[in-house]
Structure 1
């Protein structure tokens, strides 16, 4: 049985871990033994017992996060900046787990095109995997749009790491929609195959009668706080009910604060719910960020959508993705800068009155396709 270790650290949202869990399920279904190693905060929607039922082994490293979006200073679970001793302890724990598991394949999520602050950790993991099983192959796993490099020299550094250690790069998107070169123009002579697996999406949402509610999702982390605050004000200018779903570790407190600050009969705010896909399918329209998993939830239904990409702190990933999807019927893109509550209310009303969207035009079986590619690499 092929052993595959998946190494992921989600620092601000939840999408990286959710996507790797989907890949783990597909690998287990294809007959692999899977170990998912997570270095971000635990997610309520992915408890270890649920992963175990899906035949995914799971190990939680000492969690890190960047609630203030300072990726150079990851923080521990208690909010304090992680020290070099903390990071060394994580590396030791990680290497011990990989040594015991002895994977045939190690998949590093985002790295080496991101997670530079944790480069020593990923390098140690690669060395540990190969020490435990000589000949173990290493593969990079990337969402459709990795955050573009802020400096040109980072392209050369990533390319050198790929050439030195990697057997392949898996991009979980469609090359015809968003090729990797749209965000990371790696050298044409890279020498490492880049495989677009297709999108890793959820199952088709069940048919639902369309309701009157404007459903606003702020994602699985803190990135959507500004959008949620604006939506709470916009709800007062709308005749429709507005339902706000808040993500992040302090979601319950933030939802309560939104209700207390802007509360009126048409506004409801609560933490992200497990039945979000069903709520989305029955909504009059959706207002959300443009993160990978949020877009995949939209792909599973036909609810008209307003995408408001996160673009603070110089981030470009969501704007690139949203621009590519704006060509689809039923999807509109708004720029949060300059957007006020009355304008958001008007845009939501127009979307709520619009026809249902046509079906998503691209396959969403990227997890199964990626699993097949990985097992072929192992062979």
Structure 2
């Protein structure tokens, strides 16, 4: 069984981490996996066991995703898309996949349709067609109705399955996608993809602490900065040790400045692979509301304060934070109101939460792999 996965992360690393977890799960089911990516995979993605093909690099020009740029910072052109398209089309012949997965597309990543529509067309023209699935996170960024209709049209034209990586007890596709009803025959909920490492934290680390994080660190520095002073303004959380974790994409200069400014009772470190285990011991998690951190919070069943990323037209994290707050799992603090004082007050409020012992499905990667392989076998 051969699987080909396409993924492109532009700012945060959530898409890549999720795709990597699914790739590993497919490998564990004895599939030969090739993952094509147009960005460097974060160090947390264990690529052992599958092949990684690098497409010409692309990233967002700014947190508002106002343009796609190449690795040299130049805006991409037709020649750029042609290079990527040629690689993808050639991969079909080289891999001859039984399974094809596109991460987010066609319900997101519309900017990449110039390479992906020809890719899908070639797959559908094969005498022996692969099983084609879209791998979609729990919440999508809302788009105008005409764009959502176009996304749904692509899904209905080319895809066998839309895999939603959430637990429908908490969030469903219709919460963030206006064309969900049209896609209902294709949709399956896999549960959340838990891509966390199983690295244990040293004895005592994290115990009773406030753990502050911001994912990869490309955005979110303001949360780390506010946390340095918030402890002094906090009542309930003011007696805890605050551990501030800076992601790998935070610049060395910014990291050094945070470290130098840390007052007594606050530790500043780089992000740690034992982060999920730290959370299980923590008194409170303070973070943005990205997918991977949200899954870690669900697994740890720790009270949470969420400060969702909301630059430009981003709605995903705000909606996720509001859903968590509505289920009594977190307190949501709007990014525009963030300060040391507001963070301290929200932290004190969040520490009073007692997250319900709801058994959310967190084994989405394994379920996804088993579903894909079973579907491909039925079609062979």
Q: TM-score, normalised by structure 1?
A: 0.88
Name the counterpart of 1:365: 363
SS of alignment partner, residue 51 of structure 1: coil
CA displacement at 1:327 relative to structure 2:
3.5
236-245 or 18-27, larger mean C-alpha shift: 236-245
SS of alignment partner, residue 258 of structure 2: helix
Structure 1 unaligned residues grouped into runs of 5+: none
In the TM superposition, 1:1-379 aligns within 5 A as 2-46=1-45, 50-52=46-48, 55-66=49-60, 68-130=62-124, 134-149=128-143, 151-186=144-179, 188-190=181-183, 192-202=185-195, 211-238=207-234, 239=238, 240-260=240-260, 262-352=261-351, 354=352, 357-378=355-376, 379=378
Change (3 A) 1:299 1:188: closer
Distance in 2 (alpha carbons) for counterparts of 1:204 and 1:246: 17
SS of alignment partner, residue 59 of structure 2: coil
Write out per-residue CA displacement over residues 207-242 of structure 1, whole angstroms, 9 at most, x where no aligned residue.
986634321111124232232222233245454432
Distance in 1 (alpha carbons) for counterparts of 2:338 and 2:327: 22
Write out per-residue CA displacement over residues 324-368 of structure 1, whole angstroms, 9 at most, x where no aligned residue.
22234452222222232122123324545x476444531211112
Kept in 2, the 8 Å contact 1:286–1:303? The answer is yes
Change (3 A) 1:103 1:221: farther
80-89 or 21-30, larger mean C-alpha shift: 80-89
CA displacement at 1:250 relative to structure 2:
3.9
Distance in 1 (alpha carbons) for counterparts of 2:180 and 2:331: 34
Write out per-residue CA displacement over residues 21-70 of structure 1, whole angstroms, 9 at most, x where no aligned residue.
11112222222221111222331222xxx422xx2222222322115124
CA displacement at 1:305 relative to structure 2:
1.1
Distance in 1 (alpha carbons) for counterparts of 2:258 and 2:247: 13
Write out per-residue CA displacement over residues 91-125 of structure 1, whole angstroms, 9 at most, x where no aligned residue.
22232233211111211111111111111111233
Structure 2 unaligned residues grouped into runs of 5+: none
SS of alignment partner, residue 314 of structure 1: coil
Distance in 1 (alpha carbons) for counterparts of 2:256 and 2:156: 49
Distance in 2 (alpha carbons) for counterparts of 1:230 and 1:241: 15
SS of alignment partner, residue 268 of structure 1: strand
Change (3 A) 1:340 1:256: same
Kept in 1, the 8 Å contact 2:217–2:250? The answer is no
Change (3 A) 1:232 1:124: farther
Distance in 1 (alpha carbons) for counterparts of 2:267 and 2:85: 43
CA displacement at 1:292 relative to structure 2:
0.9
Kept in 1, the 8 Å contact 2:29–2:369? The answer is yes
SS of alignment partner, residue 44 of structure 2: coil
Corresponding pairs, count: 370
Kept in 2, the 8 Å contact 1:41–1:65? The answer is no
